[in-house]
């Protein structure tokens, strides 16, 4: 097992790597013969998602309620949604006024026409932007399409996609509730060349690392308990030797407070620690997961690559459902399972490789500039102390 582990870690140590191989070797990225569908900028994903490629446009106001009763009232919730979209309008309208923007780059004036490409966020924030209901128990809970909740587990069913035309028809006829849509005017309907329901792209870190893989581990633990094999697996994990590319879990499987990076470390070992436990397909579902996950981190996609990726997703999804549906209280009616299986490949076709629109960079920035300085403060005049701490670093 140690030999297999060493080979596997050497072979797949790029789970956390974003830079393409050509950039690691200081070569120019190859961009020829990549594009087989529109809106592709795959060679730039490494640049777009670096920390210094971000710009803060402004802060969004958060309304305060007098009490818990007011906070839960429909009037307050509607006001909060209207305030959010009015604030977005205030921030973004100047970008679309006039005939574009002139930037001076390398002593050359270059004309740009701004556009919104994607909105990078987790599911609750995506619902805020799209103004769909946040409840996973609603009739049509997906902000991408009009799939019924009962059909979330059906990974082969045809679905009707949401867009600003069919959603605005519900809004104009005052029947938004039939599409699980808030009766609030969506600012993004006015933005040209933007489908807000597709532009709120699935985020790999929240969809896979912190959600679906976490569920896979939890359901695996339930299976192991029934087979009285959990202690055996924890011992296998504790016996894994140290490796520079791997976090050591000496106490076995403990899911509380695991980070996305630690879940990715678990992806590297689970395929081995659950092997040969007389549970059919248990090791195979982790093999299929890793194949799918590694493909998701690809820097470039051709149409043939997307077909292979969709097949890898379906192969993993079929096994995941077969193994764990009866263990799940909701019978795996997970929004992110549906979203990943149904919508991620089309998202790549429209917006490019996933590496260009993952929240990993933003979560890292939030940790560096908010969470850590907050913990270093004495919790009094927190904002002032956070700013002083950040200024010391710069």
DSSP code of residue 281: T
Evaluate whether 84 touches 128 at the Cβ level (below 8 Å): yes
Predicted confidence at residue 356, as pLDDT, reads 84
Predicted confidence at residue 58, as pLDDT, reads 65
Predicted confidence at residue 69, as pLDDT, reads 93
Predicted confidence at residue 38, as pLDDT, reads 38
pTM of the model: 0.80
Predicted confidence at residue 47, as pLDDT, reads 54
> From CA 196, how far away is CA 207, in angstroms rounded?
19
Tens digits of residue pLDDT in 324-345: 999 999 999 999 999 999 999 9
Predicted confidence at residue 50, as pLDDT, reads 62
In the chain, at which residue ranges do the beta strands (DSSP E only) sit? 101-105, 108-112, 119-120, 200-201
Instruction: From residue 215, give the alpha-carbon distance in Å to each of 126, 138, 145.
Output: 21, 21, 23
Predicted confidence at residue 48, as pLDDT, reads 57
Residues of the chain with pLDDT under 70: 1-58, 393-394
> From CA 3, how far away is CA 5, in angstroms rounded?
5
φ and ψ of 110, to 5 deg: -120, 130
């Amino acid at each position: 097992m140690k030999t297999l582990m060493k080979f596997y870690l050497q072979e797949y140590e790029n789970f956390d790597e974003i830079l393409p191989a050509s950039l690691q070797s200081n070569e120019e990225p190859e961009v020829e013969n990549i594009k087989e569908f529109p809106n592709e900028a795959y060679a730039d994903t490494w640049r777009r998602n670096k920390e210094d490629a971000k710009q803060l446009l402004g802060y969004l106001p958060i309304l305060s309620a007098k009490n818990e009763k007011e906070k839960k009232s429909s009037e307050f919730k509607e006001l909060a949604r209207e305030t959010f979209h009015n604030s977005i309008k205030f921030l973004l309208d100047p970008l679309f006024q006039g005939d574009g923007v002139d930037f001076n780059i390398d002593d050359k004036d270059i004309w740009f026409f701004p556009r919104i490409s994607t909105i990078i966020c987790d599911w609750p924030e995506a619902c805020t932007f799209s103004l769909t209901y946040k409840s996973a128990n609603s009739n049509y809970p997906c902000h991408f399409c009009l799939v019924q909740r009962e059909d979330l587990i059906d990974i082969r069913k045809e679905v009707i996609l949401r867009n600003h035309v069919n959603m605005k028809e519900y809004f104009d006829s005052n029947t938004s509730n039939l599409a699980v849509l808030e009766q609030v005017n969506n600012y993004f309907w006015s933005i040209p060349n933007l489908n807000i329901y597709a532009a709120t792209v699935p985020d790999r870190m929240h969809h896979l690392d912190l959600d679906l893989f976490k569920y896979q581990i939890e359901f695996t633990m339930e299976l192991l308990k029934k087979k009285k094999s959990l202690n055996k697996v924890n011992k296998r994990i504790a016996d894994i030797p140290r490796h520079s590319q791997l976090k050591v879990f000496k106490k076995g499987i403990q899911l509380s407070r695991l980070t996305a990076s630690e879940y990715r470390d678990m992806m590297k070992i689970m395929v081995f620690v659950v092997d040969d436990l007389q549970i059919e397909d248990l090791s195979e579902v982790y093999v299929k997961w890793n194949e799918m996950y590694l493909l998701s981190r690809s820097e470039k996609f051709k149409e043939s690559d997307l077909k292979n990726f969709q097949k890898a997703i379906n192969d993993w999804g079929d096994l995941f459902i077969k193994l764990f549906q009866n263990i799940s209280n909701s019978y795996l009616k997970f929004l992110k399972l549906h979203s990943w299986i149904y919508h991620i490949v089309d998202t790549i076709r429209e917006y490019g490789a996933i590496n260009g629109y993952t929240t990993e960079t933003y979560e890292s920035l939030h940790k560096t500039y908010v969470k850590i300085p907050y913990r270093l403060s004495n919790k009094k005049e927190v904002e002032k102390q956070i700013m002083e701490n950040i200024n010391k670093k710069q």
